[in-house]
A = this chain, B = another copy of it.
Amino acid sequence: MNIRNDHPFDSATKLTDLGGGKFAGETSADYANVVGTFGGVTAATMMRAVLENADRRGDPVAQTVNFCGSIGSGDFEVSTTMERAGKNTQHWSLKLIQNGEVKTTASIVCGVRSEAFSKQIETKPPAPEPKSCTQLKTKGLISWLERYSFRFVEGEPQLSGIPLSEQGNSRSLLWISDIPERPLDTLSLAAISDCFFPRLLHLRGKMVPFGTVSMTTYFHATTAEISTNGATAVLGASDSKRVHRNFHDQQMQLWASGGELLASGAQLVWYKE
């Protein structure tokens, strides 16, 4: 972790160890969503609870977060349970509880990573440098959007009312980075995994009620490898495979500028209409 006490992301994910695997946290207005908190920060908070656990061994390799209910402004508690630990992996279960209600559940797998056969099959899509891509104007829309720079290569969200579904194109490619800048780590990647605008907006050309129900992220690089990137933008790609009867998937990949795939994953989104 690259914790900076003066960065809003680190303040938003800050936890106080209560002992017995329990941690106290508080929502941050900096990452407020239309309703509740930005899911990416919730994912990062769950991740931080495992990383700050004294019993944790190895790097996080997989995380699934289930968004059960929106987290209201204020205090919450995160409980962590190490379900099983072996020579190579640790399996953690987590719950975020607010006012006695389960708001989020998560599972995180940590793994010992050493020298082994290595092969990247999927190559980074071609993209111009971040500085030559126009930054999306997010000022005054939703709080958490102001905490990220979105520089679109393709698939910029268009609330034009013109559905793009005839084109069948819902792919976005964009450079994403923290505002203010912050060195990349597992926490920021866990959050950026949830940074993509819903594919439905692209397909419909308008906003409809939606919410992520479950999100899974795999980390393809070690904590040390992620850290070598420093405070830089990652290239994010996102698309959907099927939108059907109130639920759609949303795939994503996060690439380092050097070409390494740092993380990949998917989420399932509920939508109305």
Contact = CB atoms under 8 A, between A and B. Distances in A.
A264 B249 CA distance: 9
Contacts of A116: 244-246, 271-273
Contact of A220 (B62, B107, B242): B242
Contacts of A121: 168, 170, 199, 239-243
Interface in A162-217: 165, 168, 170, 199-200, 203-204, 208, 213-214, 216
B270 A214 contact: no
A74 interface: no
A244 B120 contact: yes
Interface in A216-273: 216, 218, 220-222, 239-247, 249, 253, 261, 264-266, 268, 270-273
Give the residue among A88, A91, A117, A261 with the most B Cβ atoms within 10 A: A117
A249 B62 CA distance: 10
A11 interface: no
A168 B119 contact: yes
Number of identical monomers bound together in the oligomeric complex: 2
Contact of A118 (B168, B244, B266): B244
B242 A261 contact: yes
A234 to B, nearest CB: 14
A102 interface: yes
Contacts of A143: none
A62 B214 contact: yes
Given A64-B107, A116-B273, A88 B246 contact: yes
B112 A246 contact: yes
Contacts of A130: none
7 contacts: A64-B66, A64-B216, A89-B270, A111-B247, A116-B246, A220-B247, A242-B261
